Amino acid sequence: MRWIRNILVILLLAIVAWWLLGKMDILPSLGDIFKPKEVVIDQTPVVIRQIKPLAQLATITAYTEVTADSSVRTTVGERLRDVINPFSMDVAMNRELIVVGKVVIHAGVDLEKLTPQQLFISKDSVSIQLPAAEILEVIVNPSGTDIFLEEGEWSNAAIVNMKTRIRQKAVAEAQANGILFQAEERAREVLLNFFRAAGFTKINFTKKRLG
């Protein structure tokens, strides 16, 4: 019996020593040994497909967070798979997905749409008819996407669909909060300051249109 006790003591001491050395970062902790390695993408080149000149005056940026969910009844095939799978403890009736997306919306005026007829400059005065304010860009990047809950398999198309919904919802909310009106007001302010700095004293914005 004594030899069993000795083995247990040695084993206990070994575990304590491993734990202590793990805490001191000398040995990997037991948790780290069974931690899956991060999948790292290869360094691949970034290829330029198109270069486009723009003249957009972005005047309002809205930061929004949208949570969207989707629940889909599992198919007969998926349930059968659960039934015959020895590792599956139950039969899933639904596939669930909850995505939280951070959306960045840039709104402003596209000065490329400014025709010579809409901009009249004479001596010290400027008369400008601004194009209607519009949503210039809506960004839902992977860095701003959190897959909060994922039960069952969800294809890339389903995620794209979900992000599109998130984007649409964010835009609708921003528009409901008057982002276009604010963008146009701010565009006037920025251009007023620019023309004033450029020596024009009479700056007149004609006709106001909202998109």
Residues 42-81 that bind another protein (CB under 8 A): 42-73, 75-76, 79-80
Residue 41 in tokens: 């993408």
Shortest distance in whole angstroms from residue 167 CB to another protein: 8
Shortest distance in whole angstroms from residue 171 CB to another protein: 10
- Closest to another protein by CB, 14 or 146: 146
Q: What are phi and psi of 134, to 5 degrees?
A: -145, 165
Shortest distance in whole angstroms from residue 163 CB to another protein: 4
By CB under 8 A, tell whether 85 contacts another protein.
no
Cβ proximity of 67 and 165 under 8 Å: no
Q: Using CB under 8 A, which of the segments 6-14, 15-23, 29-37, 203-211 binds another protein?
A: 29-37
Beta bridge partners of 125: 122, 202
The residue type found at 176 is A
Candidate list 180, 186, 188, 203; residue touching another protein; CB under 8 A: 186
Q: Using CB under 8 A, which of the segments 6-14, 19-27, 100-108, 203-211 binds another protein?
A: 100-108
Shortest distance in whole angstroms from residue 11 CB to another protein: 22
Q: Using CB under 8 A, which of the segments 1-9, 17-25, 143-151, 203-211 binds another protein?
A: 143-151
Spell out the residues 6+ positions from residue 19 whose beta carbon is closer than 8 angstroms to its own: 29, 30
Beta bridge partners of 146: 100
Give CA–CA dist 142/133, Å, rounded: 28
Return the DSSP state at 74: P
By CB under 8 A, tell whether 141 contacts another protein.
yes
Give CA–CA dist 154/149, Å, rounded: 11
Q: Which residue has the tokens 């960045």?
A: 104
Which 145-174 positions form the footprint of another protein (CB under 8 A)? Answer: 145, 147, 150, 153-154, 156, 158-160, 163-167, 169-170, 173-174
- Closest to another protein by CB, 13 or 148: 148
Shortest distance in whole angstroms from residue 85 CB to another protein: 12
Spell out the residues 6+ positions from residue 181 whose beta carbon is closer than 8 angstroms to its own: 133, 210
Category of 178 on φ-ψ map: left (φ > 0), alpha (ψ -120 to 50) or beta: left
By CB under 8 A, tell whether 36 contacts another protein.
yes
Question: By rule CB under 8 A, what count of residues binds another protein?
Answer: 94
